[in-house]
Structure 1
């Protein structure tokens, strides 16, 4: 399309990404329906799974990860609730961006339009890394549809990015070597260098002209303004930021928060931790009063 923003650098890069994405999504463990939602910033692909009733869970992936990053989590999260795994516009994936995202306000408007297009009145937002920042940003700027937040090692939002992480990312962008990139991503996430998820992230990050808003460090006042229950889980050995500083800010500033460091974890938290902590948190959030109408009519 002539008005598409971003895009793959070559046809070969697009084919490599598609093969890696399809391989990961073939392992999706529950029934799924692929939906397309029109927004001011382009067509957004959403993968729907789970139950019909209950407050929906909206999954927001990390940069370069696509909705496929949730393949080991979706069964646990969809056991009692609808789940919508969103493909972020502005990067490689099945969504198509047609207008630039320039500010955090644009990202919040985009997600609000996605939720409106899905008919979702209130949703539990679950975000990892960049998706964690999207979730927190939403609660600050467009909180009307947010029922709760579960953020998994959110990028930059709670603690500034470490210089060595930023430098490493720049070097990997310039390296042109898959071996070097596999090493860096393995150090970042703790995954095997030959893992399918690493293949997908390489194809996503290094074959596509990314047009995303840089994740923002949230101010003390912004964090204090978050009015919904929040779960913050941080990797003990997270490369992007100082987990202890992020923990301290979350506990001190977010009014209703459970915040913990996951021992031994890197930036990508273990699936078993996500699959136990997040559903249990959602159950506690909903216990006092089951959410009233979850879908608009």
Structure 2
């Protein structure tokens, strides 16, 4: 699959890759860049932290890449061997492959990634689409997951599509419209999130996101989560019904810790220490 299937132009792809490589150059801790061959194509992984520490896997959200973990990795890599990977089909350095979300393809892909990294059991932190992929893997391979931390995960509460109509209304307004809709959807309109909003705006100017709805996990699938689980959702999430996510997790995974964050949108930032307390 050519990269142009996920980018609007070759120039746009170069622009996103340039910004990403700059972010990798300013990674806050020493890191190795690993390329793992998988049945879906090559997967790019940034590995940080002590070699003998317990392994931690980070799965970013849609329209993002490993750079989104820059604010977390210094703290987490003191205690874990952190593997931040670029999801396939997203604007990182992994293959542009996008198999159907309702299939076992993503679990098999993660099997290949973990095998390539020499990992049998893993703790996972996933956000949004990465949260969906973490849940998909944990419900299919529960014996392999030691802990599961999910930030605004997809696949539990209803996926809202109203934001898409608003974003399309703003499209004719060019860069301003793109910035306005990205800020509203991600909940990044506050001044302290300017850098994060810049990154999101750049990406969605040149990148074609997935449009298929995330499959919803059944009660029975969620009931397979026997490992310790943390779920953090914002009560102003424009993309997923957070109240429903919280309600279903509390009902189906009674041992889970569920935090509904007041005044927070889809992007859950500044939770490094809260997540670390759970991971440890």
Same fold (TM over 0.5): yes
Q: Count residues with an aligned counterpart.
A: 276
Contact 1:55 1:122 in 2 (8 A): no
The reply to whether residue 33 of structure 1 matches residue 29 of structure 2 is: no
Name the counterpart of 1:221. 220
User: Deviations along 1:200-246, whole A, 9 cap, x unmatched?
Assistant: 33343342355687422111111111221110001121111222221
Map 1:98-177; keep pairs closer than 5 Å: 100-104=98-102, 105-155=104-154, 157-171=155-169, 175=172, 177=174
TM-score (norm 2): 0.90
The reply to whether residue 187 of structure 1 matches residue 165 of structure 2 is: no
Instruction: Check 1:200–1:242 CA distance in 2 against 1; reply closer, same or farther (3 A cut).
Output: same
Which 10-residue stretch deviates more, 211-220 or 113-122?
A: 211-220
Name the counterpart of 2:89. 90
Name the counterpart of 2:278. 281
Deviation of the 1:86 alpha carbon: 0.6
RMSD over aligned CA atoms reads: 2.2
Contact 1:109 1:142 in 2 (8 A): no
Deviation of the 1:158 alpha carbon: 1.3
Contact 1:126 1:151 in 2 (8 A): yes
Task: Say which SS state the counterpart of residue 96 (structure 1) adopts.
Answer: coil
Name the counterpart of 1:247. 246
Map 1:4-19; keep pairs closer than 5 Å: 4=2, 6-19=5-18
Provide the C-alpha distance between the structure 2 equivalents of 1:132 and 1:266, rounded to a whole number of angstroms. 16
Provide the C-alpha distance between the structure 1 equivalents of 2:23 and 2:98, rounded to a whole number of angstroms. 28
Instruction: Check 1:129–1:118 CA distance in 2 against 1; reply closer, same or farther (3 A cut).
Output: same
TM-score (norm 1): 0.85
Provide the C-alpha distance between the structure 2 equivalents of 1:221 and 1:256, rounded to a whole number of angstroms. 15
Name the counterpart of 1:63. 62
Instruction: Check 1:225–1:166 CA distance in 2 against 1; reply closer, same or farther (3 A cut).
Output: farther
> Unpaired segments of 5 or more residues in structure 1?
284-297
Which 10-residue stretch deviates more, 79-88 or 215-224?
A: 215-224
Provide the C-alpha distance between the structure 1 equivalents of 2:56 and 2:183, rounded to a whole number of angstroms. 28
Deviation of the 1:7 alpha carbon: 4.4
